[in-house]
Amino acid sequence: MAEQVTSVQDVFDRHIPSKFQAKPDVLGKINAIYQFNISGPGGGSWSVDCTAPGGKISAGSTTNAKCTVAATDTDFLNIVNGKLNPQMAFMSGKLKIQGDMGLAMKLQQILI
């Protein structure tokens, strides 16, 4: 199993960039911008641009996102660490998606 992430910041600083490096072809398949709004004491807002060469992650919000993901910091970390099934989290309201649901499904390739 992959190394466990311990903070939301770690997901955006190390985890997702390492996925981009390990699977560069995924960026071309996704080819969209995501907005992540993570609530809770360890949360924040980040945009993940899969249209930029090599992928680009920025703190803060973007207006160009085709898919927005919202969750609490605890639920988000549980999803990334494989402790919470993303579909179950969505069905139970722990994971909220706005925008393109097809893009939301592709997120597993860079998050998990």
One-letter amino acid of 8: V
**63: number of Cβ within 10 Å:** 7
Q: What is the pLDDT of residue 2?
A: 57
Query: Tokens representing 70?
Result: 């919202």
- Tell me the pLDDT tens digit for each residue of 97-108: 999 999 999 998
Q: Considering the chain, what is the average pLDDT of its residues?
A: 95
What's this model's pTM, rounded to 2 decimal places?
Answer: 0.94
Q: What is the pLDDT of residue 63?
A: 92
Q: What is the pLDDT of residue 1?
A: 45
Q: Map out the domains of the chain with their CATH numbers.
A: 8-107 (3.30.1050.10)
Q: Give me the percent of the chain exceeding a pLDDT of 70.
A: 98
HSE, side-chain direction, 13 A CA sphere, residue 63: 0
